[in-house]
Structure 1
Amino acid sequence: MVLDFTLPMHSSLAKLRNGFTALVAIVVLATMGFKWIAGYGWLESLWMVVVTISTVGYSERSSASDATQILSIAVIVLGVSAAAYTFTGVIQTMLQGELDRAIGRRRMEKEIKRLSNHTIVCGFGKSGPILAQYLSSQKRQFVILEIDEDQFQQAIQLGYHAINADATDEDVLISVGIQRASSIVVALPTDAQNVFITLSARNLCPKVRIVAQAERESSSRKLRQAGADEVVMGHQMVAEYMSRLVTRPSTAHFFLSLTQSATEDFLLDELYVPDGSSVIGKTIAQLRVRDLYELLVVGIKLADDSFVFNPAGSREFAANETILVMGKQADVDHFRDKNSLLEPGIHPGCEP
């Protein structure tokens, strides 16, 4: 979810630039005027300009000629005006920046309160930018919780919803809509923090899908006991992928291409079958999935989390199943909309 926190500041910046330009021009021309009209030296001419514009006015000559007095009057009027104009531009620029940030925060808070079926990302460290980029490309709503100021500012600069707060605080989770969220990604630096957030999230919303990060196998078990639906161990996944690249490189590249957003013409996607969907009780052959939608049904995830791979054409769909299909994004969208299917991770949340 992209959010623009910056309001236009062209008027105040232009005012500052124009005022500064006018002030410099007046100082230069007035110094030259005092040099040529009054016959002062360069340093004394500049001094006269400075004390005149600043309204200090001490020790100025009272026996000046008429031309010099007229020049002094002009310098006072123009110089003070330009200085005041520039000064108000500086103040306006400073206040405008603070106002923009305040308006941006208020706008973001309002949008977060309206979020539903969104993802909460706890931690914007090494994996945060990649995860946020992917969620944004999939047009999924999400909000980031990050306690580190530098990483929080990075998320803001990238245009994401972000809150500079401690994700281990239950009140913070409630403020970002944990009871309306469809999923939460727990990816803080330490396993202890991730276990604590997982416990809090599961207590606050029993239905939310929790994906947690772990560094150690013992922490992985604790996270599952705390209520995590999925536990990701980065080094283990890297090792498994590297082993596939060695033993089955073509297969590894093929499945990687299916998960990359760059491969838009062909992808592996999943669709949830809710109650009331038109596919319930119908077979793959009856729906003519391949003929009408140009999709290949590669598997079905059952309600008990078991899988049926390469299902036969006579296989009937049932409620609460997840259909795994391969094809183009447009065809997947057509099949989903035509048969009242849902994107993965979408559910009514924990609020009544």
Structure 2
Amino acid sequence: MRDRTRRPPVDPQVIGALRMPDNPERPLVALLKRVAVAFGALLAAALIVWIGRDGYVDNNGEGPISFNDALYYATVSLSTTGYGDIVPYTPLARLLTTVVITPLRLLFLIVLVGTTVELLTERSRQSFRIQRWRSRVRDHTVVIGYGTKGRAAVETLLGDGTEPERIVVVDTDRAQLDAASALGLVTVTGNATRSSVLRIAGVHQASAVIVATNRDDTAVLVTLTAKELSPKTRIVVAVRESENVHLLRQSGADSVIVSAETAGRLLGVATRTPSVVEVVEDLLTPDAGFAISEREVEASEVGGSPRHLADIVLGVVRGEQLYRVDASKVDALERGDRLLYVRKATPPDED
């Protein structure tokens, strides 16, 4: 019988493209800390030898032990070189060497060897983390492109309570991926028009794909590739020109947002009624003020009108169809309906 508990090894191509979130501490800072610990152990050993210099003898016969001699002895002792030119000869000095110098020697070696081993095993550690993540992740969100649109989409997801590890960012720009990784997001390096890259991002197991590329033609290719890999995954696309909306619809996009025209409409509205723009921005920002959300109809609300609820309802989703709140087909709510309503947003610092 096949052992289902064993996990297949991670493809080296996956390790090179997929990167788990980095630790909060930067690698250079961690290395400098270890170097400081090593030098601290070395200096402590030198001070101990110099304070007890009367118990040490220089076999070269160059007189009393100086601080430079003590530092030299600490260096060759902690590095286990041990030339034997400076040695402890009194019982107290030998006791200090046994009780103090030896633990410092071990600390020194652990720091140096530990740093080397960590560098050598980093690839194996990444492989294990990637393997564990891929075995657990389901219904995550894949964001294609981490420019202005992609970053805003991620901020909205995080503001709605999505865990960072459930967001995968795909991009070719290393600087953008580093910024995403700093937020705790999983990143994939590669061209999202390639099916192999989208497989690494787990598109076939994702609940949604956000396509926020800088070019409309790239968005079409990404949508086609993602739809082929996962026909049931919801795909949301941002395009610059409205003339390309039908191409995205035909490619399999579930929702298409025309970024240029939407921004243009808001600019036009702002010249006449700027307060309206402020309200729209407030509704689109989940961190504070008010936000648009979705919930299921409660049992006590079935049969009632969405216009008479305590919440401010904007629309009703029945099946796959969205109806405005004043549509006659949703005058009476049914089980399974979902309400689009205005809720009070909770700031991040509040419970």
Partner of residue 169, structure 1: 194
Partner of residue 26, structure 1: 45
Partner of residue 198, structure 1: 223
Structure with the greater relative contact order (CA < 8 A, sep ≥ 6): 1 or 2? Answer: 1
Q: CA RMSD in A?
A: 4.6
Partner of residue 269, structure 1: 293
CA distance in 1, matches of 2:217, 2:329: 47
CA distance in 2, matches of 1:233, 1:49: 72
2:146 corresponds to which letter in structure 1? Answer: F
Q: 2:280 aligns with which of 249, 252, 255?
A: 255
Q: Report the alpha carbon displacement of residue 319 of structure 1 after superposing the two structures with TM.
A: 7.5
Higher strand share: 2
Q: Which runs of 5+ in 1 are unaligned?
A: 331-352
Q: Report the alpha carbon displacement of residue 199 of structure 1 after superposing the two structures with TM.
A: 0.3
Partner of residue 129, structure 1: 151
Partner of residue 295, structure 1: 311
1:8-65 per-residue CA deviation (whole Å, 9 max, x = no partner) reads 9xxx99997665433212224435666998635858736863785363638x59xx99
Q: Is the CA contact 1:241–1:252 (under 8 Å) kept in the aligned structure 2? A: yes
Alignment TM-score, normalising by the size of structure 2:
0.67
CA distance in 1, matches of 2:55, 2:129: 58
Partner of residue 57, structure 1: 83
Q: Report the alpha carbon displacement of residue 212 of structure 1 after superposing the two structures with TM.
A: 1.7
Q: Does 1:182 align with 2:207?
A: yes
1:79-125 per-residue CA deviation (whole Å, 9 max, x = no partner) reads 57634531221221443466577546534543444333332112223
Q: Is the CA contact 2:204–2:230 (under 8 Å) kept in the aligned structure 1? A: yes
Q: Is the CA contact 2:211–2:238 (under 8 Å) kept in the aligned structure 1? A: yes
Q: Is the CA contact 1:34–1:45 (under 8 Å) kept in the aligned structure 2? A: no
Q: Is the CA contact 2:316–2:330 (under 8 Å) kept in the aligned structure 1? A: no
CA distance in 1, matches of 2:83, 2:132: 54
CA distance in 2, matches of 1:182, 1:314: 27
Q: How many residues align?
A: 313
Alignment CA distance shift 1:316-1:108 (3 Å): farther
1:86-235 equivalence runs, <5 A: 86-96=108-118, 102-103=124-125, 106-140=128-162, 141-217=166-242, 219-235=244-260
Q: Report the alpha carbon displacement of residue 232 of structure 1 after superposing the two structures with TM.
A: 3.1
1:139 corresponds to which letter in structure 2? Answer: G
1:153-203 per-residue CA deviation (whole Å, 9 max, x = no partner) reads 332221123334442232332344433333210123443332211001122
2:157 corresponds to which letter in structure 1? Answer: L
CA distance in 1, matches of 2:251, 2:34: 58
Partner secondary structure for residue 228 of structure 1:
coil
CA distance in 1, matches of 2:286, 2:48: 61
Alignment CA distance shift 1:49-1:323 (3 Å): closer
2:253 corresponds to which letter in structure 1? Answer: A
Partner of residue 326, structure 1: 342
1:200-240 per-residue CA deviation (whole Å, 9 max, x = no partner) reads 11222223221123344554443333222333343333222
Alignment CA distance shift 1:44-1:144 (3 Å): closer
Q: Is the CA contact 1:186–1:197 (under 8 Å) kept in the aligned structure 2? A: yes
CA distance in 2, matches of 1:326, 1:70: 78
Q: 1:284 aligns with which of 304, 325, 331?
A: 304
Q: Between 131-140 and 43-52, report the one with greater CA deviation.
A: 43-52
Alignment TM-score, normalising by the size of structure 1:
0.67
CA distance in 2, matches of 1:65, 1:321: 85
Alignment CA distance shift 1:65-1:329 (3 Å): closer
| Identical residues among aligned pairs (%) | 21
Q: Between 246-255 and 32-41, report the one with greater CA deviation.
A: 32-41
Q: Between 22-31 and 36-45, report the one with greater CA deviation.
A: 36-45
Q: Is the CA contact 1:16–1:86 (under 8 Å) kept in the aligned structure 2? A: no
1:268 corresponds to which letter in structure 2? Answer: I
Q: Report the alpha carbon displacement of residue 295 of structure 1 after superposing the two structures with TM.
A: 1.5
Alignment CA distance shift 1:144-1:40 (3 Å): same
Q: Which runs of 5+ in 2 are unaligned?
A: 1-19, 26-30, 58-62, 347-351
